Amino acid sequence: YTAFLEPLHGLSYFHMSHLGLEYLLLKHGFRPLRIYPSHIAAAYHVERMLFPRRVPGIQPLFRRLSQGILSTILWANRFMRETVLRLQRRSGAEILHDRRQYRRLLSLRYAIGFNFIAERGSLPDRVPSGYRAMVKEGG
State mean pLDDT over 78-92: 83
The predicted model gives 13-33 an average pLDDT of 86
- By the 8 A CB rule, do 26 and 122 touch? no
Residues facing residue 3 across a β-bridge: 15, 113
| pLDDT value for 49 | 83
- The yes-or-no verdict on residue 93 having pLDDT over 80 is yes
Cα separation, 1 vs 83, in Å, equals: 36
Residues β-bridged to residue 99: none
pLDDT band for position 126 (50/70/90)?
A: low
Q: Determine the average pLDDT of the residues in 73-88.
A: 84
> Chain-wide mean pLDDT for the chain?
79
Answer yes or no: is pLDDT of 8 > 70. Answer: no
pTM: 0.61
